[in-house]
């Protein structure tokens, strides 16, 4: 909903300009056609409505390249008073609707590899110096305003505003507009730049569930590239923010007044916005251009952070509020409870307490945040403090330099910490967690993005972390320690035999094993655990819980000389005063590291066993095995791990990752060789003789094997498993692809008739001692199947049915057996041997083979009955 601009007298000017006479013909260029006569142009609607209708029609009739060219022409030639009505439609047409129904240009799926022409045109049009931004600056100069619905803001902010509680972030100050009826239809009245960036940022969230027709590389998408361009333009690492075009006077609209009839909890004690400090409160004639344009940098960053990181439960949101804010909220709720006609506020009050946001970030979302984190590190590290002369004042530094100095702790730290905690606790236990992991590790290493990078040594040794980064580590202590403990808990629940999971453990161990990093983290913990410093209650608002979302240039924080107080302030501002800190180098976490080291050793042994099994299986394959001349095994083999599919090379990589990770963990936590040897001995003592077929821990009962709690833990964590194969009646297993369905069913009926009629006789023969009993047991009993059944969780009733002697003719239904018999008869016909004679010879040959195998089986199992 566009708002008309304000005139100098405080009244809204006429929205469509002076009246146009019938002799004035609106001449349109070729993109929009021409009106047939002047009367048609002015009969019912103003010219801007015809412009909007023509643009909508072009979306259906013209190709993408032509539409963008026409839009650029319109933006260049038409005045702002006609462009401001098409601006909301154009923003939605490009970035999509807020509810995700309209995709717009679908920038997330637009790639140069698949659509090079559209990709290049879209980037040029939306570039910070492109036509879209020129339109924004043209409307900005005329002070137009637009409504952005509060219902599409992040959950905690939305519920807070609906309860008439203004968030701390200065982005929302003096922008909330309430309808006269009450709590429905809340809107933010924003300027064109904010309106455009709100839509751009939220399109990453609203369209995350839209299925993509093809595989899209996030880093090569138009959306990802535009984020990078906006960050480099508005948060420049070198130089200053480029000003808008010279035709723009650079004025920023003053805040729209709120409705005085609706009570609202204001935070007047908060520092004022950087925008108001450097734009609204300074004359535009003699103002510093950098001061006039720094508001765009702050606004862009606040919108990105609010839309992408401000998603968590309401309890966490309330915990992060400062004490005086909680006091004002309490006063407001008490005053509202005394009003009898405050039903809308009471309903929103109930929603505030029952609210829990269902937010599932995607891998693409995390990759975009990582891009933001990396650029902010480079942006912050480009700050160069200038030597201060005795006559200089404290406010002589440029606004951009001050912004670089405080950008990460004031705007990003708190919300990124909560976002990472949410991901560590809710992300699936699979390889897609790598995106979250790399984003976390990027934040932990600001020295990687410093302009002065020391040269690598010839010995390829890892660089030592400089002591100048100690303040950053101390002020971000929980990012290093608590999230590391969270990663340990995740790693203990994952299958480290998988090379992707092993790589993640290796990456974390390698980063934390950088020289001097563990020592600085340990020093930060010691500073926090000092008990001689107590946080003064009156200073808690200023030092402990600063307004991370607000601006910073309006009030200077006093210099804090006590480093221990800084560390305590960081921890308590993120976790609250009642937080129980768990030391990273304490005994509890050390035990978790020892458990992880033991699991790494187990994973190495498992990977080695799977590798050996794969090699043996490959060596045993031959052409004759296709004819089933070997022992019959209808179950086949199944290892239950993806290493068989990825090859031996990745198995070696897994072993290398785990070995290096174990080495790094020993460096970080100073584990000695004796402890590792003890872990290896404990693991080796629990192994079976072959170290391959170890079953989960279980007890034997009348109903078969029953898992113990330890056995359940072993199965859940992938440490042990039952062999995944058919354990029931061999005659009832599914028909295989190499068997004839009709013959299998006929032979099963024949075998069942024989077994029912001669069951007693077969049991009597198999129970006899001597050669006859052994001969019958060899043909009527299958000891291999019985042994496999004993090692499985199979009930004794079913096991007894499998142990009964019976005839099985199913092998004759195999195509391999039938083909072998046909080849035998065909070859015998060459030697003039008839079918009857050939069958007799085969029977005699098999009789000798059966007698020989009976003697061999009897010698191996002399007491088998």
Per-residue pLDDT averaged across 230-240, rounded?
Answer: 90
Considering Cα of 784, then 787, then 789, then 791, what sign does the dihedral take? negative
Q: Of the candidates 522, 562, 526, 566, which has an alpha carbon nearest to the alpha carbon of residue 546?
A: 566
Query: Which band of pLDDT confidence, cut at 50, 70 and 90, is reported for residue 440?
Result: very high
Taking 80 as the threshold, does the pLDDT of residue 859 lie above it?
no
pLDDT at 27: 37
One-character DSSP codes across 308-347 = HH--S-HHHHHHTS-HHHHHHHHHHHHHHHT-TT-HHHHH
What would you measure as the largest C-alpha separation in the chain, in angstroms? Answer: 123
- The pLDDT value recorded for residue 367 is 95
Q: What angle do CA 352, 355, 356 make, to 5 degrees?
A: 145
Comparison of pLDDT for 640 and 763, the residue scoring more: 763
What per-residue confidence (pLDDT) applies to 806?
83
Least trusted range by pLDDT, from 504-508, 571-575, 776-780: 776-780
Indicate whether 340 pLDDT > 60: no
pLDDT confidence band for 465 (50 / 70 / 90): very high
User: CA 696 to CA 710: how far, in whole Å?
Assistant: 8
Q: What is the pLDDT of residue 651?
A: 82
- Indicate the length of the chain as a whole number: 865
Phi-psi category of residue 516: left, alpha or beta, with phi > 0 → left and psi -120 to 50 → alpha:
left
Closest C-alpha to 553, from 354, 732, 666, 407: 407
Specify whether the CB–CB gap between 299 and 171 falls below 8 A.
yes
Which of 524, 630, 514 is CA-nearest to residue 585?
524
Coil vs helix vs strand at 706: strand
Alpha helix (H) ranges present in 142-221? 155-162, 192-206
CB of 224 closer than 8 Å to CB of 218: yes
User: pLDDT tens, 581-592?
Assistant: 999 999 999 999
Res. 253: pLDDT tops 90: no
Q: How confident is the model at residue 424 (pLDDT cuts 50, 70, 90)?
A: very high
Asked if residue 495 lies in contact with residue 531, where contact means CB atoms within 8 angstroms, the answer is: no
The pLDDT value recorded for residue 807 is 86
Helix (H) or strand (E) holding 485: helix 477-491
| pLDDT surpasses 80 at 137 | yes
Cβ–Cβ contacts within 10 Å for residue 245, how many?
A: 13
829 SS3 class = helix
Report yes or no: 793 and 706 within 8 Å, Cβ to Cβ.
yes
Least confident of 10-19, 49-58, 512-521: 10-19
Q: Tell me what pLDDT residue 625 has.
A: 45
- Model confidence pLDDT, tens digit, residues 108-123: 889 888 899 999 999 9
Give alpha helix (H) positions in 384-426: 399-407, 413-426
Confidence of residue 797 (pLDDT cuts 50, 70, 90): low
Q: Whole-angstrom Cα distance, residue 362 to residue 185? A: 29
Q: List 701's β-bridge partners, or say none.
A: 704
Are 433 and 365 in contact by the 8 Å Cβ rule? The answer is: no
Task: Kindly calculate the radius of gyration of the chain based on its CA atoms and give it in whole angstroms.
Answer: 38
By the 8 A CB rule, do 699 and 706 touch? yes
Nearest to 562 by CA among 581, 535, 525: 535
* pLDDT level of residue 671 (50, 70, 90 thresholds): confident
Runs of H (alpha helix) within 96-253: 116-126, 131-141, 155-162, 192-206, 222-234
Position 420 confidence tier, pLDDT thresholds 50, 70, 90: very high
Asked if 712 and 720 count as a contact pair (C-beta separation under 8 A), the reply is no
User: Residue 370's pLDDT is what?
Assistant: 96
Statement: residue 106 has pLDDT above 50: yes
What band does 799 get if pLDDT is binned at 50, 70 and 90?
A: low
- Overall average pLDDT of the 741-769 stretch: 88
Mean pLDDT across the stretch 614-636?
A: 48
Query: Which of 241-250, 260-269, 395-404 shows the lowest mean pLDDT across its residues?
Result: 260-269
Burial annotation 508-517 (CB, 10 A radius, 16+ → b, else e): bbbbbbbeeb
Report the DSSP beta bridge partners of residue 111. 221
Q: What angle do CA 739, 741, 747 make, to 5 degrees?
A: 90
If pLDDT is split at 50, 70 and 90, which confidence band does 631 have?
A: very low
**Separation between Cα atoms, residue 776 and residue 757, nearest integer Å:** 17
Q: What pLDDT digit, counting tens, does each position of 683-738 carry? A: 555 554 444 456 788 887 766 778 888 888 778 877 777 766 666 677 888 888 88
Closest listed residue to residue 251, CA positions, set 212, 284, 202, 218: 284
Average pLDDT of span 744-760: 89
Greater confidence (15 vs 802) lies with: 802
Q: Distance (Å, rounded) from C-alpha 330 to C-alpha 335?
A: 9
Residues of the chain with pLDDT > 90: what percent? 30
Q: Given a cut of 80, is residue 676 above it in pLDDT?
A: no
pLDDT of 276 higher than 80: no
pLDDT digits (tens, 9 = 90+) for 184-218: 578 899 999 999 999 999 999 886 655 555 567 78
pLDDT digits 0-9 by tens, 361-395: 889 999 999 999 999 999 999 887 665 544 444 44
Highest average pLDDT, of 301-305, 390-394, 839-843, 844-848, comes from 301-305
**Residue that wins the pLDDT comparison between 4 and 853:** 853
pLDDT digits (tens, 9 = 90+) for 482-501: 999 999 999 999 989 889 99
β-bridge partners, 189? 147
At residue 354, the pLDDT reads 38
The predicted structure's pLDDT at residue 335: 55
147 beta partners: 189
Angle CA(257)–CA(260)–CA(264) in degrees, nearest 5?
A: 90
Q: Mean pLDDT for the chain?
A: 74
In 621-740, which ranges are continuous DSSP H helix? 643-646, 648-669, 673-685, 709-716
Q: Is the pLDDT of residue 135 over 70?
A: yes
User: Does residue 327 have a pLDDT over 70?
Assistant: no
Query: Strand pairing partners for 698?
Result: 707
CA dihedral 843, 849, 855, 861 (to 10 degrees): -100
Q: Environment class of residue 688 by beta-carbon count within 10 Å: exposed (0-12), middle (13-18) or buried (19+)?
A: exposed
- Vertex 572 angle, CA 566 and 573, to 5°: 85
Rounded average pLDDT over 823-844: 90
**C-alpha triplet 521, 450, 399: angle, nearest 5°:** 105
* Axis-axis angle for helices 413-426, 363-381 (nearest 10): 150
- pLDDT for res 688: 45
Q: CB under 8 Å, gap of 24 or more: what pairs does 791-797 form?
A: 791/693, 791/695, 791/722, 791/723, 792/704, 792/705, 792/722, 792/723, 792/727, 793/698, 793/704, 793/705, 793/706, 793/707, 793/722, 794/704, 794/705, 794/727, 794/728, 795/703, 795/704, 796/702, 796/703, 796/704
pLDDT > 70 fraction of the chain, expressed in percent and rounded: 65
């Amino acid at each position: 909903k566009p708002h008309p601009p304000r005139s100098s007298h405080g009244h809204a000017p006429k929205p469509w300009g002076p009246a146009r006479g019938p002799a004035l013909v609106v001449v349109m260029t070729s993109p929009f056609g021409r009106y047939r006569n002047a009367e048609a142009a002015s009969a019912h609607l103003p010219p801007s409505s015809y412009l909007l209708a023509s643009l909508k029609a072009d979306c259906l009739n013209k190709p993408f390249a032509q539409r963008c060219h026409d839009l650029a022409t319109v933006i260049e030639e038409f005045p702002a008073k006609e462009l401001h009505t098409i601006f909301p439609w154009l923003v939605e047409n490009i970035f999509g609707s807020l509810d995700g129904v309209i995709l717009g240009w679908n920038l997330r799926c637009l790639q140069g590899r698949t659509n090079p022409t559209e990709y290049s045109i879209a980037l040029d049009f939306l570039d910070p110096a492109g036509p879209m931004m020129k339109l924004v600056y043209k409307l900005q100069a005329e002070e137009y305003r637009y409504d952005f619905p509060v219902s599409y803001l992040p959950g905690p902010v939305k519920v807070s505003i609906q309860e008439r509680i203004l968030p701390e972030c200065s982005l929302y100050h003096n922008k909330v507009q309430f309808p006269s009826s009450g709590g429905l239809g809340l809107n933010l009245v924003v300027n064109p730049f904010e309106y455009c960036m709100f839509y751009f940022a939220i399109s990453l969230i609203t369209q995350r569930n839209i299925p993509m027709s093809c595989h899209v590389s996030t880093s090569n998408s138009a959306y990802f590239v535009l984020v990078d361009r906006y960050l480099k333009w508005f948060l420049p690492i070198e130089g200053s923010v480029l000003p808008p075009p010279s035709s723009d006077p650079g004025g920023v609209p003053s805040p729209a007044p709120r409705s005085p009839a609706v009570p609202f909890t204001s935070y007047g004690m908060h520092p004022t916005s950087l925008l108001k400090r450097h734009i609204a409160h300074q004359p535009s004639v003699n103002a510093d251009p950098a001061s006039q344009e720094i508001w765009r940098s702050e606004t862009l960053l606040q919108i990105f952070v609010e839309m992408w990181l401000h998603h968590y439960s309401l309890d966490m949101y309330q915990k992060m509020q400062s004490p005086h804010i909680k006091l004002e909220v309490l006063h407001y709720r008490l005053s509202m409870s005394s009003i009898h006609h405050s039903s809308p506020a009471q309903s929103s009050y109930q929603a505030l307490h029952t609210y829990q946001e269902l937010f599932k970030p995607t891998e693409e979302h995390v990759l975009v945040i990582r891009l933001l984190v990396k650029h902010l590190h480079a942006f912050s590290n480009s700050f160069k403090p200038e030597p201060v002369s005795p006559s200089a004042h404290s406010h002589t530094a440029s606004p951009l330099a001050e912004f670089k100095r405080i950008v990460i702790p004031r705007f990003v730290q708190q919300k990124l910490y909560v976002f990472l905690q949410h991901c560590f606790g809710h992300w699936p236990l699979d390889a897609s967690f790598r995106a979250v992991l790399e984003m976390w590790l990027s934040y932990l290493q600001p020295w990687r993005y410093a302009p002065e990078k020391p040269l690598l040594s010839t010995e390829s040794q890892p660089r030592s972390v400089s002591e100048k980064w100690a303040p950053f580590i101390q002020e971000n202590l929980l990012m290093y320690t608590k999230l590391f403990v969270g990663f340990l808990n995740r790693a203990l629940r994952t299958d480290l035999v998988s090379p992707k999971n092993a790589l993640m453990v290796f990456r974390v161990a390698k980063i934390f094993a950088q020289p001097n990093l563990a020592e600085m983290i340990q020093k930060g913990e010691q500073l926090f655990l000092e008990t001689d410093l107590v946080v003064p209650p009156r200073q808690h608002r200023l030092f402990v819980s600063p307004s991370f979302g607000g601006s910073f240039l309006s009030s200077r924080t006093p210099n804090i000389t006590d480093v221990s107080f800084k560390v305590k302030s960081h921890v308590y501002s993120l976790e609250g005063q009642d937080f129980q800190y768990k030391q990273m180098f304490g005994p509890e976490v050390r035990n978790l590291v020892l458990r992880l080291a033991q699991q790494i050793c187990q994973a190495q042994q498992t990977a080695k066993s799977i590798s050996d099994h794969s090699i043996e299986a490959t060596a045993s394959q031959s052409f004759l095995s296709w004819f089933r001349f070997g022992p019959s095994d209808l179950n086949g083999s199944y290892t239950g791990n993806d290493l068989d599919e990825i090859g031996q090379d990745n198995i070696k990589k897994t072993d290398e990752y785990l070995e290096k990770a174990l080495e790094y963990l020993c460096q970080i936590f100073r584990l000695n060789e004796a402890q590792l040897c003890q872990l290896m001995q404990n693991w080796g003592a629990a192994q079976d003789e072959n170290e391959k077929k170890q079953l989960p821990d279980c007890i034997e009962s009348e109903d078969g094997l029953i898992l113990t709690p330890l056995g359940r833990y072993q199965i859940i964590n992938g440490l042990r498993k039952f062999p995944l194969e058919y354990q029931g009646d061999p005659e009832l297993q599914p028909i295989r692809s190499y068997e004839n369905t009709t013959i299998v069913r006929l032979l099963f009926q024949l075998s069942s008739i024989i077994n029912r009629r001669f069951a007693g006789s077969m049991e009597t023969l198999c129970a006899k001692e001597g050669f006859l009993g052994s001969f019958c047991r060899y043909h009527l009993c299958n000891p291999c199947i019985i042994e496999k059944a004993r090692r499985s969780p199979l009930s004794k009733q079913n096991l007894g049915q499998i142990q009964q002697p019976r005839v099985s003719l199913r092998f004759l239904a195999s195509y391999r057996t039938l083909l072998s018999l046909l080849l035998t008869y065909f070859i015998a016909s060459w030697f003039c041997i008839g079918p009857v004679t050939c069958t007799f010879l085969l029977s005699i040959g098999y009789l000798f083979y059966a007698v020989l195998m009976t003697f061999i089986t009897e010698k191996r199992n002399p007491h088998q009955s």
